Every structure is written in structure tokens, then in C-alpha cells.
Structure 1
């Protein structure tokens, strides 16, 4: 979705929308957040995110294709596939921290008021 000036929104807003389209699904966010802790095997990600094998496989493939995640295959018995964040993926860590700080203040406050 390439938008620019004169196409219905300012350029900064368009970048935000474009980035959310890349990382904004529930499962993509869960995997990216989980991998902040370090490299994980497929089944570890499956357990920690609660995603089905099919969904997780699609998500990590998408994230790898977009350059957020690296995949490493260890062929020694037992064969294992490991996933980790790339430099691009790691650059999201401060974003997750900022969202977490915001949520602690505002989401918790909203729940108290409800």
C-alpha cells in the first residue's frame, strides 16, 4: 500500500498504516514479541503463542519473507528448526516496550474505570 502526499493522507500516517499492515496481526505480534527473549524452536513458539501448527508455520514464513525473522535448521538428530529476530525484527523491541508502558498506564486505568 504505497500512499504519498495527495493520496488521502499525510506521509507519516501512511507509514504507520503500512507498518501496522506488516506486523499488526495477532499472531505476527505474538511471535515477534516472543522472539525478543531470544531464539526459539518451532514447538516453543507454538506453546507460548497458542497458535496452531498451520497458523504458526504461515506466520513465521511471512515474517521471514518480510525480513523480521531468521530461520535456522539444525539437522543433527533430532532435527530442529529455530527462529530468531533479524536486525529489522530487533528494531521493534523499543516499540513493544513503549506499547507495554502505554498499556500499563491506559489499559489498566480503563479496566479500573469499567
Structure 2
């Protein structure tokens, strides 16, 4: 459970990671779709995606070689973590 809390703390310590994970919990999206839907900058989205992907919470759903139209999705691990964050009521709404 300590690991889970470490991961939860990692996600909720950044409004951008929260926004990206929240959006991807609804379904796969490109960085520009996430930025538009969540009304945040593309650079913040890219940074959040990279850090979430490094921890295995999101994944690139198209070829790594692709530069345009990169689609990201939440992993099962990310989905479990997101559900835990919501169940614990840890989001500032």
C-alpha cells in the first residue's frame, strides 16, 4: 500500500498530471486533444505524459516513430490508480 500512496502522491502533486490522467480515463487522446479538453498548454501536457508514461500509468498507442497524431491511453495500472484517487476523494474539485 505504501507504493500506492507514493504513486498517488506523485500524480496529485501536479495539476497537469491529474488533468492528463483524468482525460485519458475517459478514453485515448492526442496531446493536443488533451490540451484543448483540459485547457492547459501543450508543453505541460507533454511533460505530464512523459512522467506518467515513465511510471507505467499511460502508454503510447501508436508507433514510437510517429511524430504527428501520437495517441495515448491509460494503462490498467493507471486506471487502477485513478480509481483509487477518486475513491479516496483526493481531487480538489
Same-fold status (TM-score > 0.5): yes
- Structure 1 unaligned blocks of 5 or more: 1-10, 108-114
Structure 1 residue 55: Cα displacement: 1.0
Structure 1 residue 87: Cα displacement: 1.2
C-alpha distance in structure 2 between counterparts of 1:88 and 1:15, whole Å: 11
1:5-16 to 2 correspondences below 5 Å: 16=5
Answer with 1 or 2: which has the greater Rg.
Answer: 1
With CA pairs under 8 Å and 6+ residues apart, which has the higher RCO, 1 or 2?
Answer: 2
Greater fraction of residues in strand: 1
**Structure 1 residue 20 corresponds to structure 2 residue 4:** no
What's the TM-score, normalizing by structure 2? Answer: 0.75
- RMSD across aligned positions (CA): 2.9
Contact 1:33/1:96 (8 A) holds in 2:
no
Structure 1 residue 85: Cα displacement: 0.5
